[in-house]
Amino acid sequence: MKMRKTCAAALALVLTVAAALPSASDGFVADAAKKPALSPKKVNVKVGKSKKIKVKNYKKKVTWKTDKAAVVKLSAKKKTSVKVTGKKQGSAKVIATYKQGSKSKKLVCKVTVTANTPSQGDVQPQPQQNNNVPAPTVDPNATPAPTPTFDYDAYSECLWKKPAGKKIKDLYSDYFKVGVSTGIGDLRNGESAALIRYHFGSITMGNETKHESIVTNDIADEYPNGYGAANVENYYKGDGKVILDYDNIEKVLSYCKANGLKVRYHALVWHSQVREYFFLQDYNYDDYQLSDYEANGWDTSNYHKLADKETMKKRLNDYISQVIEYIYSHGYGDVVYAYDVINEANNGSIIYYVDENATSASQVLSQDSSKGNRFTTNPGVTTSNGRQVNSSSSPEDVMDMLTHEGRTPDASHSYWYATMGADYLYLSYLYAHDAVEKYYNQYKDQFGYTEKPSLIYNDYNQKETEQINLVKYVNLACNLEKGTSGVKYCDGIGLQSHVIPESTQDRMIKSIADAGLEVQITELDESTTGDVQASKLKRQYEIYKKYSKNGDYGKEQGADYIGVTSVTNWGLRDGDGGGWGGHTYLFEPYDDGLEEPILTYAPKPAFYGILQAGGVSAAECGTDIYGKEIPEY
C-alpha cells in the first residue's frame, strides 16, 4: 500500500510538470525531437550496382519515387528504406514522402550514376577551363547522323519535293533567309533532316542552345559528380568562371556546318529555362551542405545566397564570352548569323523611361514619365508568399524562392533582374558585342570569316514602340559605357509573329525598319488551317518581301535601310512538339504504307501559299497529295 501511494504521488508530480510544459503545438517537443532525415543525402552508384537509402528518425511508412526512372531503378521498397540501382549514366532524384500530422513532407536524395569502370581511386578530376570539348566535326554524317539510312536527298518522289525544283529558300534568296525551328530529333530523322536541308537555309534550335542546356548539372567523364559540383569547386579553387557543357552546341553546329545550314542562336539570356544555381553566389544549390563548407574551410556566409551584382556582372560576361569564343574558335563563326542575345524581357510590370540626354550609362533609365520613350521589363524573383529575394535575403528565403520559381519563374519573373537590376539589359549586348569583335578578329584569318552576326532582341508581344525604346536604351547605354558614338550594340528586333494578324505585322515591321533597325521574323506560325492558313501565310510572306532591302518598300529607302533579313517558321509538321499552343505548320503527318522509302511528311495548303508568294503559279503547284488542284491563294 505504501509503495502504491509513493508511485501515485510520483505520477501526480510528473503529470503536473508535464501539464506546465509547452505542448508539441507550441514547438517545444518538435524542436527537441530529431527530425526525419535521409541517410545518405547524396549517392554515387555505378551502372548495375545498388545502394540503400533510408529515412532516419521516422517509423511510419514512406512513399518512394524517382524523377528519372531511366537512370535509376527503385526496388526492395520497405517501410523506411529503398534499394537504388543504377541503370544508365546520368543524375536523378529519389524522393521520400512522409506524413507529419496532416501534411505531406518530402526528402530528396541526389543520385549520380557513373559508368561501371575500374575505380580510379579517391582523386577527383579538377575542373578544367573549357578545354575538354571535341574538335569541330565536318563530316556530313556528323552527330546527329540522320536515320534511317534511306537517301531522301536523292529520291525525287518525296512529296515535299513537288513541284520539282521549287525550294522555299531559293525562292526568297534575294530577299531574306528562310529557316525553321527544330530540334536534335528532326536532325536525326532521315526524312525530316533531308526536308530541312532541301527547303530551308537556316535553323533555330528550340532548346539545345538555351541557358539550361549549356549551364548543365549533368555528369561527364571529367566531372563525375556533375557540372554543378564542379562549378562550386571551381568557385573556391579555380578562376570562378562557370564551367559550360558544349555537347549540344557541338552536335548542332558541326551538323549545320557540314550540311550548309546557317543558325539563329536562340537565346543567350531569357528569364525562363535557366539553371537556378547559376544565380547563387557560389553556384551551390544542393551539391554541398553547410557541414561540407565547414569541413572544406569555405565561406559559410555564401551558403544559399543569391549572387550580388558585381559577381553577376562578371558571370554574365564570362558566360556570354565563353559561348561566343567556343563558336569562333571551333570554326563555326560563319554558321551563326544571328544571336537572340535577350529573349522576352519586355513583358513585366517594371516601367522605365529612356533619357536620351543622359551623360552616363547609369543615368539613361529614369522614372520620370516626362522623358517619354517608355518600356516595361520583367521584375525580380520572390518567395512562395511573394516576398522579394535579393543578395541580402536569408538562406531560408533563397531556398524557398528557388523551389517556388524553379527553372521557369512565375509571371515573367527574372533571376537576371533580381541580381543585376535593369543593367543586365544593356550589359548583355555590350558583352556579346565585345566578344564578337574580339573572337572574330582573333580567328577570322584561321577560318576565313568575312561577316559578323546580328545581335537581336527577340519578343512576342505587339508593343513594337516599347521594344524600339528598349533597344534605344541598350544602344545609348552601351555607347556611353564604352565611350563610342552611334555604334549598334543591338542590331534589331526579332518578331516572333505567333498568330499576329497581317495588318499588325505590317505596322510593326514598318515601325522597326523605319527606326533604322533590322527585322527578323523569328517564330512564325498560324492557328488557322487549310486554305485559310495558306492565304494568310501567302500575304505574310508578301509583307516580308515588301519590307526586305530588295522589296518594293526597301528599294524606295536609302542605302542604310536594312528591313527584313530572315524569316523562321516555328515548326515543321503538325503534331511535332505540339506547336505554339497547337498552332499549325507547313507539313502534315502522312503514311505511305511502304517499308522503304518511308514518307511521313506531306505538304499542306500553307506550303503552297508560301510558294505562291515566292512567285510560283497555282498551275505550277499542280495537285496536292489527294489529287486536288492547288488554287490561287
pLDDT digits (tens, 9 = 90+) for 198-237: 999 999 999 999 999 999 988 888 998 899 999 999 999 9
Give the whole-angstrom CA distance, residue 563 versus residue 159.
33
Confidence grade of residue 8 (pLDDT, cut at 50, 70, 90): very low
Is the pLDDT at 578 greater than 80, yes or no? no
Is 420 part of a structural domain of the chain? no
End-to-end CA, the chain: 108
Whole-number pLDDT of residue 45: 84
- For residues 431 and 478, is the Cβ–Cβ distance under 8 A? no
- For residues 241 and 322, is the Cβ–Cβ distance under 8 A? yes
Question: Tens digits of per-residue pLDDT, 400-411?
Answer: 999 999 999 988
DSSP helix/strand/coil, 533: helix
Nearest C-alpha neighbor of 420 from the set 440, 390, 398, 442? 390
Please give the angle made by the CA atoms of 419, 276 and 94, to the nearest 5 degrees: 155
The residue assigned the cell 556533375 is: 226
Is the pLDDT at 107 greater than 80, yes or no? yes
Question: Tens digits of per-residue pLDDT, 162-173?
Answer: 999 999 999 999
Give the whole-angstrom CA distance, residue 378 versus residue 270.
10
Tell me the torsion sign for CA atoms 386, 390, 395, 401. Answer: positive
Confidence grade of residue 354 (pLDDT, cut at 50, 70, 90): very high
Give the whole-angstrom CA distance, residue 181 versus residue 594.
28
Mean pLDDT computed over 475-496: 98
Whole-number pLDDT of residue 138: 57
Over the chain, what is the mean pLDDT? 88
Question: Tens digits of per-residue pLDDT, 504-536?
Answer: 999 999 999 999 999 999 999 988 899 999 999
Is 480 part of a structural domain of the chain? no
Look up residue 452 and give its DSSP letter: P
Whole-number pLDDT of residue 142: 64
Is the pLDDT at 104 greater than 90, yes or no? no
Is the pLDDT at 34 greater than 80, yes or no? no
Give the whole-angstrom CA distance, residue 304 versus residue 398.
6
Enumerate residues 6+ apart whose C-beta is below 8 A from 40. Answer: 53, 109
Whole-number pLDDT of residue 523: 94
Whole-number pLDDT of residue 88: 77
Rounded to whole angstroms, what are the CA distances from 610 to 181, 460, 509? 17, 22, 19
H or E element, residue 370: none
Partner residues linked to 343 by β-bridges: 270, 458
Whole-number pLDDT of residue 132: 44
Nearest C-alpha neighbor of 630 from the set 538, 528, 531, 532? 531
Nearest C-alpha neighbor of 232 from the set 186, 167, 174, 296? 296
Whole-number pLDDT of residue 124: 32
Identify the weakest region by mean pLDDT among 58-62, 103-107, 139-143.
139-143
Is the pLDDT at 391 greater than 90, yes or no? yes
Identify the weakest region by mean pLDDT among 17-31, 102-116, 542-556.
17-31
- For residues 309 and 419, is the Cβ–Cβ distance under 8 A? yes
Whole-number pLDDT of residue 580: 59
In percent, the amount of the chain with pLDDT more than 70 equals: 88
In percent, the amount of the chain with pLDDT more than 90 equals: 68
Q: What is the CA radius of gyration of the chain?
A: 29
Rounded to whole angstroms, what are the CA distances from 238 to 58, 127, 230, 371? 41, 8, 10, 46
Question: Tens digits of per-residue pLDDT, 110-126?
Answer: 888 887 653 333 323 23
Is 15 part of a structural domain of the chain? no
- For residues 551 and 557, is the Cβ–Cβ distance under 8 A? no
Write phi, then psi, for 556 (nearest 5 degrees). -80, -15
Whole-number pLDDT of residue 258: 94
- Pairing state between β 587-589 and 563-569: unpaired
Look up residue 308 and give its DSSP letter: P
The residue assigned the cell 517545444 is: 28
CATH number for position 96? 2.60.40.1080
DSSP helix/strand/coil, 592: coil
Tell me the torsion sign for CA atoms 342, 344, 345, 351. Answer: positive
Helix axes 309-329, 247-258, angle to 10 degrees: 30
633 grid coordinates: 491563294
Is 572 part of a structural domain of the chain? no
Give the whole-angstrom CA distance, residue 217 versus residue 213.
9
Give the whole-angstrom CA distance, residue 420 versus residue 425.
9
Reading across the β-sheet that carries 374-377, which strands appear in turn? 365-366, 350-354, 374-377
Is the pLDDT at 626 greater than 70, yes or no? yes
Is 85 part of a structural domain of the chain? yes
Partner residues linked to 564 by β-bridges: 519, 548
Question: Tens digits of per-residue pLDDT, 298-322?
Answer: 999 999 999 999 999 999 999 999 9
State which residues form the domain around 78.
33-114
H or E element, residue 114: strand 103-114
Mean pLDDT computed over 47-51: 79
Give the whole-angstrom CA distance, residue 400 versus residue 379.
18
Whole-number pLDDT of residue 144: 66
568 grid coordinates: 523562321
Whole-number pLDDT of residue 130: 41
Is the pLDDT at 185 greater than 70, yes or no? yes
Whole-number pLDDT of residue 582: 65
Confidence grade of residue 337 (pLDDT, cut at 50, 70, 90): very high
Whole-number pLDDT of residue 398: 98
Is 41 part of a structural domain of the chain? yes
Whole-number pLDDT of residue 444: 97
- For residues 179 and 571, is the Cβ–Cβ distance under 8 A? no
Confidence grade of residue 610 (pLDDT, cut at 50, 70, 90): very high
Enumerate residues 6+ apart whose C-beta is below 8 A from 514. Answer: none
Confidence grade of residue 436 (pLDDT, cut at 50, 70, 90): very high
Is 43 part of a structural domain of the chain? yes
Enumerate residues 6+ apart whose C-beta is below 8 A from 31. Answer: none
In this predicted model, which residue has the larger pLDDT, 607 or 118?
607
Is the pLDDT at 65 greater than 70, yes or no? yes
Give the whole-angstrom CA distance, residue 143 versus residue 332.
15
Domain count within the chain: 1
Amino acid in position 422: A
